[in-house]
Chains A and B, each alone.
Chain A
Amino acid sequence: MGLFDDEKGGRPSFASPFIPAAAPRAELSVPGYSFKGNQRLWSNRLPCYIVCKQFPPLNCAEVLAVNPVRLLFSVVLLAVFIVPAQAQKEDWQPITQHDLEMKQVPGNPGADAVQLYYADFIDDQEQTEFFYVRIKVLNEKGKSHADVELVVPPEGSISGLKARTIQPDGRITEFTGKPFQKTVIKARGVKVLAKAFTMPEVNVGSIIEYKYKVGWPWIITDNYWTIQHELYTVKESFRMKPYSGGLEGFESGYQVATLYSHMPNNIKPVEKSGGYELEVESMPAFESEGYMPPEEDLKPQMRFFYVGPASSTPDKFWQEAGRKWNDEAERFIGNRKEISQAAAQAIGNETDPGQKLRKLYARAQQIRNLSYERERTEQEQKKEKLKLNQNAGDVLARGAGYRDDITRLFVALARSAGFEASIVRISDRKNKFFDKGLLSMRQLDGEIAVVNQAGNDIYLDPGTKFCPYGYLRWTRTSTMGIKLNKKGGVFVTAPAAGYDKAMTRRSAAMALDADGNLTGTVTVKFEGGDALEHRLDELNADDAGRKKDLEDELQGWLPTGAIIKMTQGEGWETSDGPLTVAFSVDMPGYASAAGKRFLLPTYLFQARQMDAFKHVDRKFPVYFPYAFAEVDRVDIKVPDGYTLENIPQAQTARLSYAAYQNLAQFDGKQLITQRILQVNGIFFKLDLYPEVKDFFGKVQAGDEQQAVLIGGGVNAQKSN
């Protein structure tokens, strides 16, 4: 039954799973292929990236483009003159006194290791990529860098692997062993292997270095250099030599374009000998922070794309992409009788246009949304009679479809009812902001609908399960898309969502007993975007799972030791209305005793954002997924015989984009605290951090206020 993980149902062994303090390095994971920073072996991005110099891209990216004719000549020259030089660059680098003497990372004492040198030479002519890594071990943890695992790409190879250890006195120990071969995955014709080895004689102060070449039987059309690593890097060298022969799919010719952004000190790659070169020095390690924008929008990057002439400018690219999407969507939407009948049936006798639209939206959302179910095998699809929909009529007839099918069905229904409705191909800002200059069709990976009603564009997201009418899921708000039309479409920005679109209302009805224990009920209403996120998070959970998750969430807001039981949950299976959850809560020893007094925190909950804004220093802007508000009321009935000696003063804090108020009152029997927190924005530049930090500091101070009760015979602390 595989009970004993470390025995794995087979041969036991005596190898301690206790690994001394050294933390494991980023791990290879399967499936999904993620790689250690130093050892990226092939691109996991889709093709069709292109950026051309005629159209400066957004987000500070800069562009170079290569003339294909010049490129061809360059490659010829390269073959004659450059290759020996390139080969020389692949030799072991000289070991400098600086290398031997370096003991700390500048500005980051205590770092476990420093990367003294890193090289990545892409040679598409040879169809190889050469890597060179030189790392100095600075403490015990840094020794883990001596364990290396290189994934061999499918159908590819790793050759010329050489590794060695250099001691602080300059003595060199070559790695003479043979790398071990690990099976990453082997399944039905696919076999991915890894070469694993560990370096000899590695100690604190040792320099380890290894180099190898990855070869492919194909050209990678979307390659990139990794410029920022998990270690501070003293010096980096990058080369890219493009391919010059004929390429399948590019019969009309091609060119190599590049995109670079977020480069340190505004350094630029140099166009040289038909390819590109880049030298970087003193690149710090990337360190993430809480509430920061997506990593991809912060790290320096340099990408290369093979593109055809049809994609010579971003406008052309997006126009062409829009046309393709529009053709496909219009073919799907069509103009079908059964759609008109369904629309008429959904609308019934309703005459108000707004209400009509709501009814059509509700009808579309009745469709079983397969995007939110687990992926099925071909065999399962066949047995469950799940077929790919070819048009809106299919969606209606089968009662099931993926998110875009449902959006298109809604547009079809709306049009048949006389509304002007369109598809918007939209980006998702969860992992990356849209960059018009980065011409990947994958950037616009979803569809929403826009309906013009009485001159106003209403953006709707029927394809997102449980998305309320009039809302977009936060990942699709404040982001760009293309409103499709026959010519391709026009760029639009999906509307932002204010704090009133994601509200959490909490109310607590509690009673304090004479021992300082607090008991009662807490009711939480999630509204709008907050309700949607909770519904989606719990989509695949059962009642027990939802109960546990929500109890855990409330536990995170309450002081340690609270005993929580969810007693009710309503509104899980609907798009409209709040998600309401009720709990019974017991907080032993909530009020602390001090002689004849009870000291009573007036507000139960803790602000969620506090931990991220504790530190004085910050590197990146503050980024909330969505604007939000918390509206709370806490009623605490005090024990008989007690009265309030002191009640906390009202607290307020206000910024142009955030507001906070905490007001406590005592009616003779109950202490009533009302609190509002509103954050009406998502992105705050780094120079605003001090005021953001100060604001949340005030929130915490206000939330932690205490009332002083006096009377009775307080004696909460008893010995056993």
Chain B
Amino acid sequence: MLRKVISVLSFVFLVSFLPTAANAGVPDWFRALAQQPAKTYADDANAVVLLDDHETTVKDSGEIVIHERIVYRILRPEGKSYARYPVYFDSETKANSFRGWSITAKGLEYEAKEKDAFERSLGGQQEFADTKEKVIALPGADVGTVVGFEYEQKRRPYLFQDYWDFQSVIPVEKSRYTLHMPSRWEYRADWLNHAEQKPAEQNGALVWEVSDVPRIEREYHEPDFRALVGRMIVTLFSDKTSHRNSESWNDLGIWYSRLTAGVRDPSPELQAKVRELAPASLPIFERIRALSLFAQRDVRYYAIEIGIGGFRPHPAGEIFSHRYGDCKDKATVLSSMLAQIGVKSYYMVIHDTRGIFTEKTPPNAHFNHVILVIQMPDASFSQKLPALFEHPKLGHLLIFDPTNDLVPLGQLPPYEQDSFGLLVTDSGGELIHLPVTTPDLNQIHRNAKLTLLPDGTLQGEIEEVRSGYLAMLGREYLQHQTQNDRKKMLEHFWGPNLGGFQIDTFNLENENDIDKDLVLRYKFTASHYAKSAGPLLLVRPRVVGEMAGAFDVTKPRHYAYEFDAPFLRSDSVEITLPEGYSVDELPEPAKAIFPFAEYTSKAEKDGNILKYSRQYRMQTTQVPVERIEQLRKLFAQIGTDEKNMAVLKKAN
């Protein structure tokens, strides 16, 4: 018998993911929407939501059925992606009756049914989850086409809340939320980033509706999109205790505390490791540090989330044995280890993006991260730790994120500073404001000793010392690169500012010792750095570093401007002048002082040395929109100072 010969590529071509689209059975409600007159929007609005009709039906059993219709008009080529719509499903969530339709600008109609959808698993490279999505990609995806989708989702939620997201990156003409509840159920509606509206009663259901909701626009360093959008959180209660787990932060704390009961029980191997890593002979802080470092570095990040595993950590013994886990697993294994040395710790559930949870956020579980709060024994630490706060009942609490292996015990990653997290205690939970560091704790200081040659070549050494979150960013950027790549990265980074820039030698100090400042030293040569102009030599004393942030002055600003964390950046540059040259003119000093930041600089002559120093101190994580004009001025002044040149003149 002849064996089949096949090229695999032909298989690839067999996979055409667009639906075959049977004869279009476009429903009247959809056709009516498509035929309504098109409104005018900004020329960079990619699409518009014509209708988002979200209907939630709560059953007495606790099952929640979502029925949604959503219709878009594609306004720009970039909006064609709206012709592709995903519906999520997993072991606890079923997606049914999924359909879609499109009507092109020329009136051609298409329909796609559930059988036309394709499925795929969700999750990235370092995770496995049982979550999937069904996706319908509609034909006719062109500018002017109206696309619509309808589906039903049955959920058996762990937490009894529903979300109505009525604002997006595109305008929304109409969004409606309808709630059907059994008689013994109650609800609470909380509004975020939008004025509260009262529902109308229609046939026993509650209906909320908003119209002409503007889009959220993209701006440089704006707060996270999710911190800006209008949404309504519906919390559902019934007289059954298990259905009252989201009413308050305390309820959520109790729920999580119960969910995680027992997972921190140690295994004998874990206990043995604690004895090895943190012997009683060490001071208590060093013992805590040793165990923290273990959780950071020796437990590799890999998330396995099946069913309730999205919330519940794996048992500490299992995590320890495998030496991998996700954020809550890392927190769990560390908590278990700390308990072995008599140190109590608590889960803190947070979002890894600042601004999504604020002091005004109603109780809800849209967190995505778990860290640990360590109850520090009295006299266990001698210095003021940036991540420490005093709790009225629990005393000294040190917040620590074992998932981030670049931030040492005692500090917080910048994205968690000034944020809010749910502290889960044995008796419940409370929303806690996470501390913010001061600028002095987050520094970059550059010290440059340089020599200028008569042909304009600049050479010498720069030492850059980074602390706090700026050390974290430096490590993130450089730590895991090869020496060759580091060199290329530095040349790429500084090259545009420094003419023919080449790194001669460089070294990185303390790259793995996260408790110490990160020190980068490099010797370089930059040909053509100073520009010759007849008898003059023009030299920019600032040399390296651009401190002004990105800012679009052509459009009005809508939102606050975000910084990672407060910081202090300073430069100290000494340039030895070529023989025979003297300073003829120096740039004016800069001084820009605002309530949230200040920038100063000074250039001076000291014999045959040109000295330049500057300091930029940012006091806050966010400049509110009311002060944006001041921020613009600050950036403009920094930009001007950075371009300024000194004029050197050759003696006759």
Contact = CB atoms under 8 A, between A and B. Distances in A.
Contacts of A160: none
Contact of B496 (A155, A184, A563, A611): A611
A717 B405 contact: no
A98 to B, nearest CB: 21
A147 B311 CA distance: 22
A96 interface: no
Given A14-B367, A611-B496, A701-B499, 5 more contacts: A1-B165, A198-B300, A218-B5, A594-B646, A719-B637
Contacts of B464: none
A22 B480 contact: yes
B379 to A, nearest CB: 32
B447 to A, nearest CB: 24
Nearest to B52: A1
29 contacts: A10-B90, A11-B157, A13-B368, A15-B326, A16-B326, A20-B296, A43-B7, A45-B9, A140-B405, A146-B324, A180-B128, A187-B117, A188-B20, A190-B11, A200-B321, A200-B324, A221-B5, A374-B141, A377-B21, A379-B110, A380-B21, A380-B139, A541-B77, A561-B548, A597-B585, A610-B495, A611-B492, A704-B528, A706-B531
A interface, how many residues as a size bin?
35 or more
B32 interface: no
A498 interface: no
B38 interface: no
Given A13-B310, A615-B488, A187 B6 contact: no
B127 A717 contact: no
Given A9-B88, A110-B481, A611-B495, A30 B120 contact: yes
Interface string B484-526: 1111100110011001111000000000000000000000000
Given A1-B52, A10-B89, A201 B322 contact: yes
B495 A15 contact: no
B403 A18 contact: yes
Nearest to A383: B108
B406 A20 contact: yes
Contacts of B540: 592
Kindly list the 8 A-B residue pairs having the minimum CB-CB distance in the complex, ordered from nearest.
A13-B310, A10-B88, A187-B118, A595-B585, A141-B480, A16-B327, A110-B482, A717-B588
A60 to B, nearest CB: 26
A610 B498 CA distance: 12
Interface string B41-74: 0011000010010000000000000000010000
A592 B310 contact: no
B560 interface: no
A196 B306 CA distance: 14
B598 to A, nearest CB: 10
Interface string A28-54: 001111000000001111110000000
Contact of A15 (B17, B310, B492): B310
Interface in A358-395: 374, 376-380, 383-384
Contacts of B370: 14, 16
B651 interface: no
Contact of A717 (B125, B352, B481, B641): B641
A19 B126 contact: yes
A16 B77 contact: no
Contact of A589 (B491, B591, B640): B640
A153 interface: yes
Interface in A589-647: 589, 592-597, 599, 606, 610-611, 614-616, 645-646
B5 A542 contact: no
A594 B644 contact: yes
B12 A33 contact: yes
Nearest to A648: B533
A246 B5 CA distance: 10
B300 A143 contact: yes
B262 to A, nearest CB: 17
A139 B368 contact: no
B5 A247 contact: yes
Nearest to B45: A544
Contacts of B475: 21
A149 to B, nearest CB: 7
A108 B486 CA distance: 11
A544 B43 contact: yes
B120 A11 contact: no
Interface stretch (B129-137, B233-241, B385-393, B572-580): B129-137
Given A10-B90, A25-B125, A615-B491, A246 B527 contact: no
Contact of A592 (B322, B352, B587): B587
Contacts of B483: 108-110
Contacts of A202: 300, 323-324
A589 B643 contact: yes
Interface in A417-448: none
B200 interface: no
A200 to B, nearest CB: 5
A17 interface: yes
Contacts of A143: 300
Of B43, B153, B309, most A-chain CB atoms within 10 Å: B43
A648 B534 CA distance: 8
Nearest to A705: B531
A347 interface: no
A461 interface: no
Interface in A694-720: 697, 700-701, 704-708, 715-720
B366 A218 contact: no
A334 interface: no
A11 B168 contact: no
A606 B497 CA distance: 11
B330 to A, nearest CB: 9
A403 B475 CA distance: 51
B62 to A, nearest CB: 15
Contacts of B309: 13
A248 interface: yes
Interface in B129-156: 129, 131-133, 139-143, 153, 155
Contacts of B591: 719-720
A697 B528 contact: yes
B123 interface: yes
A391 B298 CA distance: 68
Contacts of A705: 531
Contacts of B323: 200-203
A615 B406 CA distance: 30
Contacts of B534: 645-646, 708
B283 interface: no
Contacts of A487: none
Interface string B546-590: 101000011000000000000000000000000000001111111
Contacts of A24: 124-126
B245 to A, nearest CB: 14
Interface string B180-215: 000000000000000000000000000000000000
B394 interface: no
Contacts of A719: 590-593, 637
A183 B131 CA distance: 10
A44 B9 contact: yes
A245 B3 contact: yes
Nearest to B546: A560
A8 B131 contact: yes
A46 B7 contact: yes
A153 B8 contact: yes
Contacts of A378: 20
Contact of B528 (A7, A648, A701, A708): A701
B226 to A, nearest CB: 6
A31 B12 contact: yes
Nearest to B406: A21
Given A541-B77, A701-B527, A11 B310 contact: yes
A219 B3 contact: yes
A182 B589 contact: no
A184 B43 contact: no
A43 B9 contact: yes
A103 interface: no
A187 B90 contact: no
